[in-house]
Amino acid sequence: MQFQFDVLLNVRKALKQILDNASETQLNTIPKGFNNNIIWNIAHLVVSEQLLINKLSGLPVTVSDDLINAFKKGTKPTGNVSQQEIEVIKDLVISSIKKSEENYKTGLFKNYTEYTVSTTGNTLKTVEDALNFVLLHEGIHLGVVMALLKLVK
């Protein structure tokens, strides 16, 4: 699973670079024809990974309930994310995936509650299944973030 974590970390580094270089306005702008923005997509990835990997394994998540409620599946932006909140998300982009990797390497993932993904219909039965799905999910949203970035520059 090292390859999966390496890819996830590289995706997250690319997202962090976007967070470091884009303005608060760019991160919060919802271009015409879209229903979300860059910051929503990035925070959604952090929240989704934590729910799919940690929560379904019975482990604590590294994100707040407020963050989960604002960025989980089925949500959309309801207002601008403040610079202070952006900084929290920026920190979590890298730290959350590193913590999941550490938990995996130390054998903390012993149980997994099966979950059927609504977008593909696949049932995740193990943490390894979840990691593989998270890779797909992150790739989709990285593409969306890159498209949004071109529209808000």
Which one, of 24, 1, 2, 14, lies nearest residue 138 by Cα?
14
pTM for the model stands at: 0.96
The pLDDT of residue 102 is 96
Contact 19, 90 (CB under 8 A): yes
Average pLDDT over residues 22-37: 97
Encode pLDDT of 78-128 as tens digits: 999 999 999 999 999 999 999 999 999 999 999 999 999 998 999 999 999
Taking the C-alpha atoms of residue 102 and residue 37, their distance in angstroms, rounded to an integer, is 30
The pLDDT of residue 142 is 98
The pLDDT of residue 153 is 86
> Domain 2-152: what homologous superfamily?
dinb family like domain (1.20.120.450)
Percent of the chain residues past pLDDT 70, beyond the cut: 100
Encode pLDDT of 93-106 as tens digits: 999 999 999 999 99
Domain ranges of the chain: 2-152
Give yes or no for residue 75 having a pLDDT over 90: yes
Q: Hey, which residues does 124 pair with through a beta bridge?
A: 115
The pLDDT of residue 58 is 96
SS3 39: helix
